[in-house]
Amino acid sequence: MSGGRTRAEGGADGRGKPRAGARVLAAFAALAVLLSACTSATLQKVTTANPPQPRRQAELAPGEEREHLRILAAYGGQYDNEKLQVMLDRTVEKLIAASERPDLKYQVTMLNSPAVNAFALPNGQLYVTRGLIALANDNSELASVMAHEMAHVIARHAAIREDQARQAALVNRVATDLLSDPQLGALALAKSKIALANFSRAQEFEADGIGVGISAKAGYDPYGAERFLTSMGHNAQLKTQRAIDPRAPDFLSSHPATPERVTNAIANARQFAGPGSGERARNEYLTMLDGLVYGEDPSEGFVRGRRFLHPKLGFTFTAPEGFTLDNSAQAVFGVKEGGAQALRLDVVRVPSEQTLPEYLVSGWIENIDTKSVEELTVGGFPAATATANGDQWTFRLYVVRFGSEVYRVIFAAKNRTDLVDRTFRDSINTFRRMSLTEMQSARPLRLKVFDVRPGDTVEKFAKRMAVADRAAERFRVLNGLGEKDRLNPGDLVKVVVE
């Protein structure tokens, strides 16, 4: 959650008021969706940091400059690491020379985000998060990602998607405004969405194929894409909070299911060489990752188990038992194991003359039970609470005035009983001001690279991992190890440390 004023995700007006409360459900559901590359972002904060310039610089038009700033804002700003920036620039230079369009210009920006993501603007501005860099295990894996994004630029996918989106929007207007039969209208709209989604899936497959070819021609191991997509799929499985079969493609998703992409990546690689060919430079790559920030940057707040701490804003909060938290630039989300309960924490500016009970019923969320509004104190700060009802969920809302801001915590439950409600109240009562010692000692987690010695095992390294749960599983995913893979003396491995 960013250090400034935030807006509710899923749409807000100019005063930071979220739209219909029922739509908050989309934010909760989003936590269960498998993460994939090539997504877009929205503005929450702006940084003026200037990324280092590679030899071939993509020029930004005024509209693209705004989009660049929006991306920086949504992904924690630029991540400054001179060694990694030089490596990225050199990698892209090699890929440019091997591509069918060596005349195109590119510029690479590292984003200070733990998300595993990479994407490109139509003009050749490439973005890659430090979370993705941390997950990759050699140069060929990173090259496969950058080549994939370059392929989107070469194939002009962004411009084609824009045309398709306009057509889908037209179908939407026709279905809404002209068709008298609502069932026919819904069918037409559904068909247009499926066509657009399938079109985007086809683009991803095309970019995968072009990218593998570029990587291979540049001298990289063409199987890097297969290894990285496999790691990305395992990483997504770690993050998902409900039982989703990753093999089942979501036909309204803009990306193919990862196992499907892995299969195609192997087929593409076989067109160029057999396994074991091309540059990987694993040890060189891993050595450069030593000291890389892992997970959230404390300046944006960070998660430690069920606890969220924000040293910059000076508060901490603990989620109920069984919850897993996820921090984003817009808000903190939480889902309980099983998916029957969820939460969202964000911050807004509310006029000082408006009381908290007045704010609760001011229309920022729908279906408030006005009789449930109650004033209380949380952590020594003025607060108020109320309940609201949706179609499938019920909500317990808390607002806490902390300094010049108001913090909103939305708890959601499919079956909100008195016991569940007490659990939510116990959780909100953990909201408090951080001590000076807590704020000063808040440091990010980092990657430390170790040599594997005789007798070292996954279990031994897992004990060093500064993670809340599933340490051995996370160690394997981070190092691209399968369930049956063993460590070999002389190898380098990544460990998350405080």
Cβ neighbours around 415 below 10 Å, total: 9
Give the per-residue pLDDT at 423.
Answer: 96
Instruction: Cite the residue boundaries of each domain of the chain with CATH code 3.10.350.
Output: 444-497
Q: Pick the residue with more confidence: 11 or 93?
A: 93
Q: What are the pLDDT digits (tens) for 43-101?
A: 232 222 333 333 345 555 666 788 888 888 888 899 999 999 999 999 999 999 999 99
Alpha-carbon torsion 56, 75, 32, 165, what sign? negative
Give the per-residue pLDDT at 358.
Answer: 96
**Contact criterion met (CB below 8 Å) for 153 and 122:** yes
Q: What is the mean pLDDT of residues 467-481?
A: 93
CB-neighbour burial class of residue 393 (10 A; exposed 0-12, middle 13-18, buried 19+): buried
Give the per-residue pLDDT at 26.
Answer: 42
Q: What are the pLDDT digits (tens) for 158-180?
A: 665 555 555 545 444 544 444 44
Mean pLDDT of the chain: 80
Give the per-residue pLDDT at 247.
Answer: 36
Q: What are the pLDDT digits (tens) for 359-417?
A: 999 998 888 999 999 999 999 999 999 999 988 899 999 999 998 899 999 999 998 89
Report whether pLDDT(246) > 70: no
Per the structure block, which two tokens stand in for 201? 């899936």
Q: What share of the chain is helix, strand, coil (3-state, %, to 5)?
A: 40, 20, 40
Q: What are the pLDDT digits (tens) for 439-461?
A: 888 888 999 999 999 999 999 99
Q: Which CATH architecture has domain 444-497?
A: Roll (3.10)
Report whether pLDDT(491) > 90: yes
CB-neighbour burial class of residue 134 (10 A; exposed 0-12, middle 13-18, buried 19+): buried
Give the per-residue pLDDT at 438.
Answer: 87
Which string of DSSP letters, residue by residue, matches 401-454? EETTEEEEEEEEESS--HHHHHHHHHHHTT-EEPPHHHHHH---EEEEEEE--T
Report whether pLDDT(241) > 80: no
State the DSSP code for 476.
Answer: H
Q: Given the structure tokens 């108020």, which residue do they identify?
A: 384
Distance CA 434, CA 304 (A): 14
Give the per-residue pLDDT at 256.
Answer: 59
- Strand 405-413 relative to strand 118-120: parallel, antiparallel, unpaired? unpaired
Report whether pLDDT(482) > 90: yes
Q: At what angle do helices 182-217 and 139-154 cross, to 10 degrees?
A: 130
Distances (CA, A) of 353 to 349, 350, 403: 12, 8, 14
Instruction: Cite the residue boundaries of each domain of the chain with CATH code 3.40.1000.10.
Output: 303-440
Report whether pLDDT(12) > 50: no
Give the per-residue pLDDT at 252.
Answer: 40
Q: What are the pLDDT digits (tens) for 358-372?
A: 999 999 888 899 999
Give the per-residue pLDDT at 297.
Answer: 82
Share of the chain above pLDDT 90, in %: 53
List, in order, residues 6 or more apart from 365 with CB less than 8 Å away: 18, 20, 21, 24, 388, 395, 397, 410
- Classify domain 303-440 at the CATH topology level: Protein Transport Mog1p; Chain A (3.40.1000)
- Strand 374-378 relative to strand 381-389: parallel, antiparallel, unpaired? antiparallel
Question: Please, which pLDDT band fits residue 17 given cuts at 50, 70 and 90?
Answer: very low
Burial 428-444 (b: 16+ CB within 10 A, else e): bbbbbbbeeeebeebeb
**Contact criterion met (CB below 8 Å) for 368 and 388:** yes
Share of the chain above pLDDT 70, in %: 75
Which string of DSSP letters, residue by residue, matches 307-322? EEEETTTTEEEEPPTT
Q: Which of 68-82, 159-173, 214-228, 319-333 has the highest mean pLDDT?
A: 214-228
Q: Return the CA Rg of the chain.
A: 24
Give the per-residue pLDDT at 215.
Answer: 96
Give the per-residue pLDDT at 169.
Answer: 53
